[in-house]
Structure 1
């Protein structure tokens, strides 16, 4: 039985790539998540800051513990904040917006709507 080269070559290449690829180490340095220290009765907010300002440093100024720090699409952080922290952030010239995080909802299930 003769094997065509066009069929055998992709299989051989895949096998070679699997053997030649080094295994990813299980001990990759991944930073530990920041513990969420704000009381549960504080509302969650998304804070955006100017591009030239470090969002984590702004959160530190009001003693907030960020849940997430955004540096790509948004430039800011999310955190549970007290009323005093919200007022202090809104008064800072480095802060662009402080909005309560209300979550996102869709306008339908997409079933039968053509989406």
Structure 2
């Protein structure tokens, strides 16, 4: 007979509670993130409705979300369609973002970092 570890049930309960709390917090936070003070619910948005430039012109960013949150859910809460979702090396996603989306993500406690994607090369490096 195999004994299950003692922490299995408490860990599962804690994970479920964290997920429920995060899911409940996302819509309210996403709604207030794009709402200027004094605007009513009709104008509340996670991201601007009319982009200033075509999404193809927006730079791609790597967004790292807080541990325990689902990166896809955070992206959707801000009206973002990720090109990649990461769940192993980091907890986050990559997506082209408007300047307003970058600002909104930088200001939310749900996100740990927002970095513009770039390339790295070992060419020309010296020891």
TM-score (norm 2): 0.53
- Work out which of the residue numbers 85, 92, 112 in structure 1 matches 2:101: 85
Residue 60 (structure 1) aligned to one of 76, 96, 99: 76
Q: What residue number does 2:15 align with?
A: none
> 1:102: which partner in 2?
118
5+ residue gaps, structure 1: 1-37
- Which residue of the partner structure matches residue 29 of structure 1? none
1:51-99 per-residue CA deviation (whole Å, 9 max, x = no partner) reads: 1111001111111110000000111000000000001101110100000
Q: How far did 1:107 drift?
A: 3.5
Q: Which SS does the other structure have where 2:56 is aligned?
A: coil
Answer yes or no: is 1:76 the counterpart of 2:81. Answer: no
4+ aligned runs moved over 4 Å, structure 1: none
Answer with 1 or 2: which has the greater Rg: 1
CA distance in 2, matches of 1:67, 1:103: 16
What is the Cα-based RMSD across aligned positions, in Å?
1.8
Paired residues, what number? 73
For residues 48 and 103 of structure 1, the distance between their equivalents in structure 2, rounded to whole angstroms, comes to 18
Show the counterpart of 1:15. none
Structure with a larger share of its residues in helix: 2
Distance 1:94 1:55 in 2: 10
